[in-house]
């Protein structure tokens, strides 16, 4: 059962907000009526355990987990409800989940996402959210304009095109008024934060907890790597950011083609590989903290970050503008299509000279690289009930 509030109720809602907060928050009847969540038996979000190969070095370098916002079961549950709630749009027609599909690694299936009015579209592709907690650069959105995941979460709500609550249309005062009038929110906020006060800061913290809990360790790559020894690798062998893995070791269960793709991904260009590992660090495949441009266009100066490559094969579109529709196109771009500019990342330049790299991969090499990236898919995460729509039909 979804409860929808008409825009005309904003004035009434704001006047009643204080009364709503004094309702019996320990009475979860409204929660159970609207949602499939049982407040007495919340899903496990807080107990995420890192596999052994995601060691202390990897965690220190890549995991962004603010000390003042640890993941709790109640907080992430609230974040999940907010993530799927269409009341966060001005017309009650869109939610965060409308542009971030679990089946597409929590990204959009369209090149550009429809806004709340059903007519206009965003100027950038909606980024994958799987493994968002692994982010060495610590900034969010493609253009890195958000300093924290918490700050990022409510910007689409405030955007006049996306969910529509810009200052000209009530801003966050209107948002908080809508949520205060929905009977399932006061008890959920109290469960997460100790009292029923509904604020933007608490919304940000809850949604960030939910998104950080969407982590993938169930791919064929992960299952194979989990069986490898963690003794220090031989001197000079490529390792993950925290060491402990010889990334050249054949992952158990890989076909010959997948293993060839693994080698191409891991090895630097001067050793016969494509050097992908230099930017997308195994075993989490998170993007490195510092980078130049990726040469999508000549003389490009705009800098963009990349999400983790985990579940990348589930994407329908690739790059910040969604210009590519397949992994094969992406591989071919890095093989032969990079455009030069002064801000081009040094890792994407020729080993000798200053032009854009030309890898000269064979057709078999390119197919192997794609096959390897497909081993990073964790199909189970898209059907995990912890990340599913909690609203009753």
* Weakest mean pLDDT among 239-243, 316-320, 373-377: 239-243
Determine the pLDDT at residue 245.
Answer: 73
pLDDT, residue 341, reads: 93
Tens-digit pLDDT profile for residues 4-30: 554 434 333 333 333 333 344 457 999
Q: How far is CA 1 from CA 41, 85, 124, 297, 385, in A?
A: 20, 11, 32, 47, 18
> Does domain 220-377 bear CATH number 1.10.760.10?
yes
The topology under which CATH files domain 7-216+381-387 is Cytochrome Bc1 Complex; Chain D, domain 2 (1.10.760)
CA distance 48 to 72: 10
Q: What is the mean pLDDT of residues 329-344?
A: 96
The angle at the Cα of 99, spanning 94 to 100, to the nearest 5 degrees, equals: 125
Average pLDDT over the chain reads 91
Q: What is the pLDDT of residue 353?
A: 73
Q: Name the nearest CA neighbour of 78 among 244, 201, 237.
A: 201
Domains 7-216+381-387 and 220-377 share a fold: yes
Average pLDDT estimate for 53-70: 90
Residue bearing the bigger pLDDT, 290 or 152: 152
Euclidean distance between CA atoms 37 and 386, whole angstroms: 10
Give the phi and the psi of residue 377 in degrees, each rounded to 5. -80, 125
At 243 the pLDDT is 55
Please tell me the least confidently modeled range out of 23-32, 137-146, 156-165, 365-374.
23-32
CB distance 122 to 48 below 8 Å: no
Termini Cα distance of the chain: 5
Nearest to 289 by CA among 278, 301, 274, 275: 278
The pLDDT > 70 percentage for the chain reads: 90
Residue ranges of domains in the chain: 7-216+381-387, 220-377
Q: What is the pLDDT of residues 151-166, one digit of tens each?
A: 999 999 999 999 999 9
* Predicted pLDDT of residue 352: 78
Name residue 121's beta-bridge partners. Answer: 114
Please check whether residue 183 is in contact with residue 23, taking contact to mean a CB–CB distance below 8 angstroms: yes
């Amino acid at each position: 059962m979804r409860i929808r509030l008409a825009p005309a109720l904003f004035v009434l809602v704001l006047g009643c907000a204080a009364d709503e907060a004094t309702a019996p928050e320990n009475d979860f009847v409204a929660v159970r009526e609207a949602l499939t969540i049982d407040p007495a038996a919340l899903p496990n979000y807080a107990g995420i355990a890192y596999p052994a190969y995601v060691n202390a070095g990897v965690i220190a370098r890549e995991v962004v987990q603010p000390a003042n916002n640890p993941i709790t079961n109640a907080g992430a549950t609230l974040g999940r409800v907010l993530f799927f709630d269409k009341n966060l749009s001005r017309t009650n027609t869109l939610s965060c989940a409308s542009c971030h599909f679990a089946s597409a690694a929590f990204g959009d299936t369209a090149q550009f996402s429809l806004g709340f009015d059903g007519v206009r579209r965003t100027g950038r592709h909606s980024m994958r959210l799987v493994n968002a907690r692994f982010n060495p650069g610590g900034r969010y959105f493609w253009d890195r304009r958000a300093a924290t995941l918490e700050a990022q979460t409510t910007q689409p709500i405030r955007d006049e095109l996306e969910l529509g609550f810009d200052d000209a249309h009530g801003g966050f005062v209107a948002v908080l008024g809508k949520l205060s009038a929905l009977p399932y929110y006061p008890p959920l906020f109290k469960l997460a934060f100790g009292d029923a006060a509904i604020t933007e800061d608490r919304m940000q913290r809850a949604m960030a907890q939910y998104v950080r809990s969407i982590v993938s360790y169930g791919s064929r790559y992960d299952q194979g790597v989990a069986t490898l020894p963690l003794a220090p690798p031989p001197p000079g062998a490529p390792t993950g950011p925290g060491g402990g893995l010889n990334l050249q070791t054949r992952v158990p269960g890989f076909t010959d083609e997948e293993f060839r793709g693994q080698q191409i991904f891991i090895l630097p260009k001067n050793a016969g590989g494509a050097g992908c590992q230099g930017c997308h660090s195994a075993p989490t495949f998170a993007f490195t903290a510092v980078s130049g441009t990726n040469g999508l266009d000549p003389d490009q100066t705009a800098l963009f970050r990349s999400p983790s490559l985990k579940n990348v094969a589930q994407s329908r579109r690739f790059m910040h503008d969604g210009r590519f529709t397949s992994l094969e196109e992406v591989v071919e771009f890095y093989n032969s299509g990079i455009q030069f500019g002064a801000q081009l990342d040094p890792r994407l330049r020729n080993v000798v000279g200053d032009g854009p790299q030309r890898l000269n991969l064979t057709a078999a090499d390119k197919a192997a690289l794609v096959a390897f990236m497909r081993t990073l898919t964790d199909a189970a995460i898209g059907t995990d009930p912890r990340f599913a729509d909690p609203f009753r039909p």
